[in-house]
Structure 1
């Protein structure tokens, strides 16, 4: 193993020297001022992502969590009673509005009536209320839309079903466009970016430019914008605008394209560039492409050398990587061994909060890196006798033998605090990781699915309580 480490370090040093030399030559002609400007532009991307998560994904996740509540489903299932208890519905909606600072509504399929948290009701008549019948027939269970034109709002509409899969209507949340424009304007003053959100028909749904906001369901289309029609015909056809340079109000702008899969929308960030930056950027891109080809070829050579050395020098003590953590089957086998040894056992199931949103927003590479860091953290914090495994794509499980429920709860709390210290990927330093924990325990021999079911229920309660908490559910004994 020492030979391998020596070879590994030597090659890495050689690789670093080559890379530093090439990069130094490429950057020699770039002035310090331009470098600082470019760095500031990169740093401003993180607040842009934070803004999207806070203003759009957060309401979506709140609505998704609330839509699964039994209170809401029972309230909307009026098959027996014939109509919704409007006073009860209004009280619930007003409570949610006060708690979350957004408007909420229920649209009943059986009663064909919409109840809003401001106390108003709307009869859902086909031909008069278009959104309901449009999205009812849509295959998507979550849609984003613009409406309430007298005070234009951004809405997230979620389909609600009963336990038999019968469509009950919509539950939704809305935010005034006035708040979006205020936030966009503050961001533009600080960072200089313009925002344009378009749907799959290229209609502009939200924008930092008030003149592009829809009025009374009259949406402006991306293809109508002056800068868009100046692009090459093939680029317009493919809608591949990422890293395109366009002229807006007489200034060069660089476009960054972000796909918002949850809404079936696309976000375009337009960053202004002065003439000098634009010229240097074009030349720099060509230099970087050549540089990357050289570095990639060198990396392949180094990787293959290390691969053949690693095959012959693997140690039994090598820690699991995320892909090699024990899977469900291996965890169940270890659980059964503990049961055969008649050992008391606590189980902790862990879910990375908002991991799906992080994956969709930042890409799978960032998601994979977070999983790696999260796994390294867990395996470094548990005791030698504990077992850490993968429970699902974003869930982990820990078996804690000879551990009581309260001790397991304290261990989970310590892990929860530790998760917040995990360093995010270098490219997204503003990412803040949290996790939710569900704890259960058995002192006698029981099937694993009985114990994990209670841990799952505890985890679900943690999610309903707002994430980043520990909940425990013990098995009831007769």
Structure 2
């Protein structure tokens, strides 16, 4: 082939490749545009269809939703009525003198069983008793709900209480013989319990709730910025959407209002038990245009925001992980290592195939100290014990709080003698400890169980054998040290080391 022919073929091949390249780029561009247009059109159609379908579902689901909400509200009410009419609290209701400790324990058991806050307010004693252990006088000007209830004289009331953790309480009037007024029994649940249910339906159907009492005060709502943060509920008329004179606040069924730049249609149902109304706010057609216009922008902004949050969260989580690992390995009360740290250190000793003594220390009659002097003194005893343990054991030993009044010490050693001697010395130091409460010395003793063995064995086995020795020390009169050798069937049951 001549050079001119070769040049011509090369030129034609380049033109063909260029055309193919341009055609492929054009096809790819058309494909991308088509995909984008298809995505946009299908997205807009999907949004419109979803909104229409959602509104239809909302209208069809009104009755089931009302039934569910009524059940959620009436459940605690039924419990309160049951308590008021049962024999569970009868002895306290009719008693001249109430055993407050017994009553508070009974209310606490009721709370644990039914999962709700329970209270009893007695007119004769003018005292209110709560299942969280509180009891206080019903003084006018301090306990508002009680005196409002006396004025309204209703058999059933619903009110808000506990400013630090807002609860919705359902109060049932207790009436004795001859219609004599005896007090109220009530059941309460946190506002958050109801909000969780509202969120489920809001996620599924897209509508919001407003619960309004007979004074047009908003008691419950699914709007986050209207959640009640104290015991005083906002008024419905305070909302701009309901402030118009053209709106009859006593009859809002089928009314339309605009809230937060969105139009809603209201469906209303009466809750006769409390003289409340439930206002169901369903978004209208305006929502379709709003969603269509903001979808792509919101998607992009959400993606960027989520990506930024995820990146920042990842960095914060790494930093938090390091700080959490440090704090999670220390007992907050005594400052000693906790159980998790002891288990980690045992694994380290196992890798070294070390021999060690596992020493278990348990304070004698610690419950009696708590019962006699109170838990604050008990905490001081635990701290004092921890300080003695840290001083008596060596730097290489691992001292930790196993749980409650029980401590575990890992003592690397070639024989049981060292662990026994240190345990005995610590026992003597604890027995001579000078701890005082209310001018009286707190008698403190401890029993010790020592097990000698290899870290190659599971920690649970060595601790278990040390526990057996500890139980023997308890059975033999407490305040003593008993040791066992993991490799020997002969125990040192009657051994008591000298310091």
TM range (shorter): 0.3 to 0.5
RCO greater where, 1 or 2, for CA within 8 Å and sep 6 or more?
1
TM-score, normalising length: structure 1: 0.47
Structure 2 length-normalised TM: 0.46
